[in-house]
């Protein structure tokens, strides 16, 4: 496991890609094991779970919120969250901006795009994206885009979805208000190699690092 982790890290760093270790459902001890090997970026999907872990784990962990964030929960994580990956509406951006202002900080966010064939995945389409006016949110910094490909063995399908997201990203960086974007969060355990080939700069990897998740254990 230790050797596999360092192999993964060198694979990623050779490709200028950073790692968010997705620790949802995993224990504080599991997280500490990676922390002790130098990992600082961890991703969580549920606000309650994130709050609990943030309290008991080292303060220099950078917590990424990668799940679907409800507007009424933003205030609970606004003081410390490092990067919010799943921003998919103006309403949510407005609330993040408001809460960030209260804590006198600027919160980094990624806009989540809907790229998968499945209906169930969250995210915006290009029309919704074009309605966002990044300058309106003084306490938010939009750092880039995030997307999840279809859960599928069809490599071409997955590759095309990532390629589509990359294309949106490249188009968007030509818009002055978005010219500082530097993060394209795409790729999970099953598809991160394809995502990197298609230009990912940040992968979110859970089960490959921690083993399968057991949702019944709670
Ligand atoms: C759970 C999750 C991941 C990690 O998934 P694995 O397949 O375990 O690597 C990545 N991104 C999001 C948004 C997730 O919810």
Q: Set out the domains of the chain in order of their start, with CATH numbers.
A: 2-208 (3.20.20.10)
User: Which stretches in the chain have pLDDT values below 70?
Assistant: 1-2, 216-218
DSSP secondary structure letter of residue 124 = B
21 lines ligand 1 (CB under 6 A): no
The per-residue pLDDT for 218 is 46
Please give the distance of CA 100 from its chain centroid, rounded to a whole number: 18
Q: At what angle do helices 28-35 and 47-56 cross, to 10 degrees?
A: 60
The per-residue pLDDT for 122 is 86
6 lines ligand 1 (CB under 6 A): no
Q: Which of 128, 80, 11, 54 is nearest to 145 (CA)?
A: 128
**Whose CA is closest to atom 4 on ligand 1?**
206
Q: b vs e for 64-93, b when ≥16 Cβ sit within 10 Å of the residue's Cβ?
A: bbbbebeeebbeebbebbbbbbbbbbeebb
Q: How far is the CA of 208 from the centre of ligand 1 (A)?
A: 10
Q: Which of 45, 28, 50, 35 is nearest to 5 (CA)?
A: 35
Give the global pTM: 0.96
Instruction: Report the alpha-carbon distance of residue 215 to residue 32 in Å, rounded.
Output: 20
Q: How far is the CA of 78 from the centre of ligand 1 (A)?
A: 22
**Whose CA is closest to atom 15 on ligand 1?**
67
Instruction: Report the alpha-carbon distance of residue 2 to residue 209 in Å, rounded.
Output: 10
The per-residue pLDDT for 214 is 76
The per-residue pLDDT for 216 is 65
The per-residue pLDDT for 30 is 96
**Whose CA is closest to atom 5 on ligand 1?**
206
64 lines ligand 1 (CB under 6 A): no
Secondary-structure percent of the chain, ordered helix, strand, coil, rounded to 5: 40, 20, 40
CB within 8 A of 127, min separation 6: which ones? none
Look-up: residue for tokens 């490599």?
Answer: 155
116 lines ligand 1 (CB under 6 A): no
Query: What is the number of the ligand 1 atom nearest to the C-alpha of 190?
Result: 7
206 lines ligand 1 (CB under 6 A): yes
The per-residue pLDDT for 74 is 98
188 lines ligand 1 (CB under 6 A): yes
């Amino acid at each position: 496991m230790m050797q596999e982790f360092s192999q993964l890290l060198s694979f990623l760093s050779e490709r200028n890609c950073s790692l968010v270790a997705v620790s949802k459902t995993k224990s504080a001890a599991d997280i500490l094991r990676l922390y002790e090997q130098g990992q600082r970026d961890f991703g969580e999907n549920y606000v309650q779970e994130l709050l609990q872990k943030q309290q008991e784990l080292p303060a220099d962990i950078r917590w990424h919120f990668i799940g679907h964030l409800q507007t009424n929960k933003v205030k609970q994580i606004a003081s410390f969250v490092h990067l919010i990956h799943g921003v998919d509406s103006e309403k949510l951006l407005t609330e993040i901006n408001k809460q960030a202002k209260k804590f006198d900080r600027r919160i980094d966010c990624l806009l989540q795009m809907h790229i998968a064939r499945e209906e169930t995945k969250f995210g915006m389409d290009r029309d919704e994206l074009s309605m966002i006016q990044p300058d309106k949110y003084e306490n938010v910094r939009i750092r880039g885009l995030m997307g999840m490909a279809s859960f599928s063995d069809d490599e071409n399908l997955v590759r095309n979805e990532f390629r589509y997201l990359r294309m949106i990203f490249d188009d968007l960086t030509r818009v002055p208000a978005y010219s500082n974007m530097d993060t394209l969060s795409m790729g999970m355990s099953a598809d991160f190699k394809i995502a990197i080939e298609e230009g990912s700069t940040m992968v979110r990897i859970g089960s490959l690092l921690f083993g399968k998740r057991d949702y019944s254990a709670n």
